[in-house]
């Protein structure tokens, strides 16, 4: 997608060549023959599986990323690259601030003349096949590498990447806890290249149930839980017609078994209207963000404000930081609430011991309590502006955020993250290939895969080609510590 006359993408070879050259000029990161990316940099991972979709895997993780953190998969649009999307989308800011890793799948001209993900090809976008299967392998690799929380894996994508995102949510609802479709298409809207333009430019006249059936039929027999889905759509998009946002809303509300009438609406910056559709427990299941006047692209909002991110460029449009609102919708800020209280300022580590860390922050007017989050998970609450976390491992780094809670129990925005490193000797770490880890008694193998002893984290295939660092946090208990020990 990402072209106003996309209908002719695949038959206009001259245009394809020109845009292919543009994609080449977007600055793809050089490959690194490694199973792990260096913390704080975007690097390629070359041995993530059989890769039936012929994709490239890039990833980013902040320094000191704690085990049990979330994982986000971010898919670029046509003519773009992983490095281009990483540079413009704003995901790095929130990965650093809130503590999570990001995987950037990348397709290329060998798969599609305009480097589009194949959201319209049933041989490539269905469970266990092609590009969808390659992305699933990337998730498994990153989860094993970083010790990510499998219950907090999310996927987002722009345009053709948005169409593939919707397909992935339908294909792998057991893998992804949530998704965000930016200027994209409903899941399985088209199953052939010929049908793709019809989905882009016009409504398909399907009922919500018919849309929902496309999701349910993607993984027959699956009964939930379903991913929580954010939908971003510009009202002036002529490449992916605005009706696609409505159809996505219909599709995912039907999957959740809820109506198409919004539970709440509010106005956001950049001419954006947010419509929330709650599940039966009152928690937001689907969110539709309609951006007035926005053409085709990803909504960004450069600046240093807490709710600003990204940089403008081709198909990166200055309206609102979609990545910020998507991350909060998923709860990646550690709060996951909808309260109006601002983020506490001045969060500081005031002291550490071998088993604990003490924190303090500035008071927020209207707060009755404060939630404290370690690695994105709530670990306690405080009525004042101090808190001491305990039961930690010696010589280990932990990431903390704090959010204010009002008298109704609504959780406000989360603070920026701080890192506390406990005193004492760090746990012993061992770097070796999977075969050697098993032979040394730090891991075991089952069904051709290797698992860390104690934590049972999946380390990938049982062979000498995959290398990991294992950290022994207590006698006989090992966790993957590739991002730092």
pLDDT digits (tens, 9 = 90+) for 372-419: 988 767 888 999 999 999 988 888 888 888 989 888 777 887 888 888
CA atoms 155, 159, 160, 163: torsion sign? positive
Confidence label for 21 from pLDDT (cuts 50, 70 and 90): very low
Picking from 121, 111, 107, 114, the residue whose alpha carbon sits closest to that of residue 195 is 121
- The pLDDT tens digits of the residues spanning 1-14 come to 544 434 443 333 33
Confidence label for 426 from pLDDT (cuts 50, 70 and 90): low
Confidence label for 317 from pLDDT (cuts 50, 70 and 90): very high
- Which pLDDT score, from 0 to 100, does residue 194 have? 87
Is the separation of the CB atoms in 387 and 358 below 8 Å? yes
Confidence label for 63 from pLDDT (cuts 50, 70 and 90): confident
Residue 76 pLDDT > 70, yes or no?
A: yes
Q: Which pair of tokens denotes residue 76? A: 């670029």
HSE-CB for 415 with a 13 A CA cutoff:
28
The CB density around residue 35, as the number of other CB atoms within 10 Å, is 21
Confidence label for 19 from pLDDT (cuts 50, 70 and 90): very low
151 by Cβ neighbours in 10 Å (0-12 / 13-18 / 19+) ranks as exposed
Mean pLDDT of the chain: 88
β-partners of residue 75 are: 157
Residue 185 pLDDT > 50, yes or no?
A: yes
Whether 263 is catalytic: no
Stretch 37-55: mean pLDDT:
87
Stretch 252-281: mean pLDDT:
95
- State the alpha helices, DSSP H only, in 172-241: 193-201, 208-216
Confidence label for 335 from pLDDT (cuts 50, 70 and 90): low
- The pLDDT tens digits of the residues spanning 79-94 come to 999 999 999 999 999 9
- Which pLDDT score, from 0 to 100, does residue 339 have? 59
Stretch 335-343: mean pLDDT:
64
Weakest-pLDDT range from 4-8, 95-99, 316-320: 4-8
Q: Are strands 377-382 and 369-374 parallel, antiparallel or unpaired?
A: antiparallel
Looking at the chain, the whole-number percentage of residues with pLDDT higher than 90 is 70
Does 420 or 156 have the greater pLDDT score?
A: 156
Picking from 190, 216, 213, 191, the residue whose alpha carbon sits closest to that of residue 201 is 190
Residue 96 pLDDT > 60, yes or no?
A: yes
Distance of CA 465 to the CA centre of its chain: 27
Q: Give the whole-angstrom CA distance, residue 340 versus residue 455.
A: 38
Give the global pTM. Answer: 0.69
The CB density around residue 81, as the number of other CB atoms within 10 Å, is 23
- Which pLDDT score, from 0 to 100, does residue 391 have? 87
| Active-site pick, 118, 159, 290, 399 | 159
Weakest-pLDDT range from 213-217, 335-339, 375-379, 457-461: 335-339
């Amino acid at each position: 997608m990402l072209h106003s006359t996309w209908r002719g993408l695949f038959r206009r070879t001259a245009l394809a060549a020109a845009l292919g050259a543009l994609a080449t000029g977007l600055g793809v990161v050089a490959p690194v023959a490694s199973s792990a990316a260096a913390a704080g940099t975007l690097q390629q991972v070359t041995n993530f599986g059989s890769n039936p979709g012929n994709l490239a895997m890039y990833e980013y993780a902040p320094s000191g990323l704690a085990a049990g953190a979330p994982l986000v998969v971010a898919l670029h649009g046509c003519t773009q690259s992983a490095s281009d999307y990483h540079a413009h989308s704003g995901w790095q800011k929130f990965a650093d601030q809130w503590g999570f890793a990001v995987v950037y799948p990348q397709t290329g001209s060998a798969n599609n003349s305009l480097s589009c993900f194949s959201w319209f090809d049933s041989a490539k976008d269905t469970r266990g096949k092609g590009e969808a299967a390659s992305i699933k392998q990337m998730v498994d690799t990153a989860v094993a590498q970083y010790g990510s929380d499998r219950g907090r894996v999310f996927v987002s994508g722009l345009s053709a990447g948005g169409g593939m995102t919707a397909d992935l949510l339908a294909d792998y609802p057991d893998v992804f806890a949530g998704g965000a479709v930016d200027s994209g298409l409903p899941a399985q809207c088209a199953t052939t290249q010929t049908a793709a333009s019809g989905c882009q430019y016009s409504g398909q006249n399907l009922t919500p149930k018919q849309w929902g059936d496309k999701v349910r039929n993607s993984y027959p027999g699956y009964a939930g839980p379903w991913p929580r889905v954010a939908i971003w759509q510009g009202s002036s998009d002529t490449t992916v017609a605005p009706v696609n946002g409505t159809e996505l809303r219909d599709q995912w509300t039907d999957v959740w078994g809820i109506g198409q009438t919004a539970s709440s609406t509010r106005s956001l910056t950049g001419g954006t209207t947010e419509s929330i559709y709650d599940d039966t427990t009152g928690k937001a299941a689907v969110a539709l963000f309609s951006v007035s006047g926005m053409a085709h692209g990803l909504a960004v909002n450069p600046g240093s404000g807490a709710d600003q991110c990204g940089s403008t460029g081709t198909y990166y449009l200055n309206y609102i930081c979609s990545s910020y609102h998507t991350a909060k919708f998923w709860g990646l800020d550690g709060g996951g609430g909808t309260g109006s209280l601002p983020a506490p300022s001045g969060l500081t580590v005031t002291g550490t011991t071998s088993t604990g860390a003490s924190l303090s922050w500035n008071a927020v007017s209207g707060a009755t309590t404060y939630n404290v989050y370690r690695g994105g998970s709530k670990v306690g609450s405080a009525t004042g502006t101090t808190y001491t976390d305990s039961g930690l491992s010696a010589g280990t780094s932990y990431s903390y955020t704090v959010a204010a809670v009002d008298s109704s129990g609504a959780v406000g925005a989360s603070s920026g993250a701080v890192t506390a490193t406990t005193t004492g000797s760090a746990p012993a770490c061992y770097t070796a290939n999977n075969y050697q880890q098993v032979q040394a008694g730090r891991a075991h193998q089952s069904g051709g895969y290797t698992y860390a002893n104690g934590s049972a984290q999946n380390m990938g295939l049982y062979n000498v080609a995959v290398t990991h660092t294992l950290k022994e946090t207590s006698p006989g208990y090992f966790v993957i510590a590739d991002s730092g020990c």
